[in-house]
Amino acid sequence: MPAITLLTDFGVSDSYVGEVKGVLLSRAPTAVLVDLSHSVPPGDVRAGAYLLARTWPWFPPGTVHLAVVDPGVGTTRAALAIGAHQHWFVGPDNGLLTPILHHGAVQIVELPTPSDAAPTFHGRDLFAPAAAALAGGEPLAGLGRPFTAMPQRLTYTQPHHEGKSIVGEVVYVDRFGSLVTNLTPEIVPPYATLEIEGLDVGPLRRTFGDAPAGGMVAYIGSGGAIEIAVRDGSAARRLGIGVGGRIRARLG
């Protein structure tokens, strides 16, 4: 059975997710629908891209990933369907699909907008039908014309050296208030000492239990990057730091 994942900023208090699923199941009744998240902060393309990057590799080849965080819905921004890494991706051309454009060959088509599509709900009327078609085995080329422009890509500040330190930034804040950074163990040795916005956090630990209740802890998160948390609390709330906050790994 084909799998279709859903990643949106629609929330769960309205009918939007249900309407999208109704279209998917009407057109691909054997599909398995998997909710990645519907709690992306409204219009936060960067957060959506982070979650897409974390999740899609865990699914089997042939999975269709429907991603809709689309503050430009109804404008001239393109609607895309992409084949990459033996997976399919459907979503707006606004940087949301950046994570799957970096490595390997990709095929991209631009989806036409149906004449009866609601200009404020392309997730239901444009992207969901395309995702269902892919799940049903329709070739990518049958969904639209080749997209020859350069897809929109998010820009990121890369970790860099400053003297005897490696400096990065917070790229995501999860629901626990943990600060996910762009520093990884490949560039930060285990003997480094971490600080965030000038506040000392200490060396890398293995898990939350290595800090006392209410204490700060730096560790390698399940996504492979260095994270900062407060045990039994919220680092984001405690420190007043969000995406873009600077983290420094002191090497000596």
Pair 31, 132 in one domain: yes
For 3-54, write each residue's pLDDT tens digit.
Answer: 999 999 999 999 999 999 999 999 999 999 999 999 999 999 999 999 999 9
Count the neighbouring beta carbons within 10 Å of the beta carbon of residue 251: 14
Residue type, 13: S
Pair 109, 11 in one domain: yes
DSSP state of 239: H
Pair 39, 139 in one domain: yes
Q: Which domain holds residue 50?
A: 3-146
pLDDT band, very low/low/confident/very high, at 172 (cuts 50, 70, 90): very high
pTM of the model: 0.93
Q: Residue 44, CB half-sphere, CA atoms under 13 Å: how many?
A: 19
As a whole number of angstroms, the distance between CA 143 and CA 89 comes to 13
Q: Round the average pLDDT of the chain to a whole number and report it.
A: 96
Q: In this structure, is residue 154 part of a structural domain?
A: no
CA dist list (Å): 226 to 13, 73, 179: 33, 34, 9
In the chain, the number of structural domains is 2
- CATH of residue 34's domain is 3.40.50.10790
Q: In this structure, is residue 82 part of a structural domain?
A: yes
Pair 133, 180 in one domain: no
For 224-238, write each residue's pLDDT tens digit.
Answer: 999 999 999 999 999
Q: In this structure, is residue 155 part of a structural domain?
A: no
CB 32 within 8 A of CB 2: yes
CA dist list (Å): 62 to 114, 154, 195: 25, 25, 42
Q: In this structure, is residue 65 part of a structural domain?
A: yes
Sign of CA dihedral 237, 241, 244, 249: negative
